[in-house]
Amino acid sequence: MQKLRFSSVFWDFGGVITSSPFEAFSKFEIDNHLPKDFIRKVNSTNHKTNAWAKLEQSKISLDEFDELFKEESKSLGHEVKGGEVLNLLQGEVRPEMVRALDKLKSKNFKLACLTNNFNSGDKDLSALDDANKERMKIMNNFDHIIESKELGIRKPDLDFYIKALEITGADPKETIFLDDLGINLKPARELGMATIKVLDSNQALKKLTDLTPKAILRE
């Protein structure tokens, strides 16, 4: 039997398994009379050292994030508390993506979730919060969960991907990585992975099907 080209699939969570938080960001901006994409602007300004980066690397607490994000947003023209933004992160689960994940698992693909997240304590804020039973059931399908809050580094830091490959034992040339942010895909490609930028479920699954035997997702 011919060996499959790909044997591992790495998945982002928010914006891939669940709907993108950017949709919630946009609604929040409209409701609060903020410029379009203002929250994304705050998150991308000084992206290696800002409040968001520090939270996802477990360098600050939720309370510290709340204040620091407020300061950063105010410096860009509009004051927004960090806690208000965190409340927008819970997207809706995409059942079709979960079915694809299940199918790949049944075909013995090595599966890993590569996610930027944060310690949410007893608050149901993080996409991987223990209190969220539906998400935890999904997470059980993964052989490995690679979290920025545990590693102390995050996507798109190249070391995050190198560590993920070390933990999973995956060959980058036999690995597909799905993420909704192009900036997070570039380091994966540099290491030899095939990448899929997720715009929506149908587009992503078509590309995933093209990269894997058709029987995997279209039986």
pLDDT tens readout for residues 106-123: 999 999 999 999 987 655
- The pLDDT of residue 119 is 86
CA separation for the pair 10, 35 (Å, rounded) = 34
Pairing of strands 144-147, 110-115: parallel
Q: Can you tell me which residue has the tokens 């998150």?
A: 43
Backbone dihedral angles phi then psi of residue 52, each to the nearest 5 degrees: -65, -45
CA angle, residues 189, 204, 175, in degrees to nearest 5: 35
CATH number of 21-86: 1.10.150
Pairing of strands 194-197, 175-179: parallel
CA separation for the pair 218, 52 (Å, rounded) = 39
CA separation for the pair 138, 11 (Å, rounded) = 12
Task: Please state the separation of Cα 25 from the chain's center in Å.
Answer: 16
Name the segment(s) of the chain with CATH classification 1.10.150: 21-86
CA separation for the pair 179, 165 (Å, rounded) = 16
CATH number of 8-20+92-217: 3.40.50.1000
Residues of the chain below pLDDT 70: 1-4, 121-131, 214-219
- The pLDDT of residue 217 is 62
- The pLDDT of residue 70 is 97
- The pLDDT of residue 130 is 47
pLDDT tens readout for residues 175-200: 999 999 999 999 999 999 999 999 99
- The pLDDT of residue 129 is 52
- The pLDDT of residue 194 is 98
- The pLDDT of residue 122 is 53
* Of 44, 52, 28, 53, residue with least CA distance to 76: 44
